[in-house]
Amino acid sequence: MTVSSGTGTHASTATSHEAASAAAGEATEPGGSQSQKVAGRTAHGYAADKDAYLRRLKRIEGQVRGIARMVDEDKYCIDILTQVAAVNSAMHAVSLGLLENHMQHCVVDAAQEAATSGSSDVIDAKVKEATQAISRLLR
């Protein structure tokens, strides 16, 4: 996963979902979401990058607080808009990373399950789910 920030791009190394699945065993959550059990908890495709996502989201949270402070201090509107654009860009990067993880793990797992079971229902559901997520991101 790659997380982009205002100062550069930070890449984190993802572990193999297949290896983790083999070690932990696959589980299906309510609603049909593919996941894996790790230490009694459900882990999703982004689990290997969770710390990077949390750091980035905390940084974005700080940016949003800074924007609120700028408004409170009556800063120049274009400067505020510049910061809003930066937050939007950062959230976009997080969204794309999560979508990439979903495609690499959940959709691929569904395709493998469909190949094993002979039923395409699970892959159809994951592709529809991904398409709906993309649609929400494009609004």
Of 132, 134, 58, the residue nearest 96 (C-alpha) = 134
52 versus 5: which is more confidently predicted?
52
**Helical H segments across 32-107, by residue range:** 50-72, 77-101
Sign, Cα dihedral of 46, 136, 122, 113? negative
Query: Is the pLDDT reported for residue 12 higher than 50?
Result: no
Q: What is the pTM of this model?
A: 0.63
Over range 100-109, report the average pLDDT. 88
99 versus 32: which is more confidently predicted?
99
Q: Is residue 5 classed as helix, strand or coil in its secondary structure?
A: strand
Amino acid at 76: Y
pLDDT given at position 113 = 86
53 contact partners, CB below 8 Å, separation of at least 6: 1, 3, 46, 94, 97, 98
Work out the angle at residue 21's Cα, subtended by the Cα atoms of residues 16 and 23, and round it to the nearest 5 degrees. Answer: 100
The tokens describing 121, both together, are 């229902």
Over range 68-86, report the average pLDDT. 98
pLDDT in tens, 126-137: 889 999 999 998
pLDDT in tens, 61-74: 999 999 999 999 99
Amino acid at 8: G
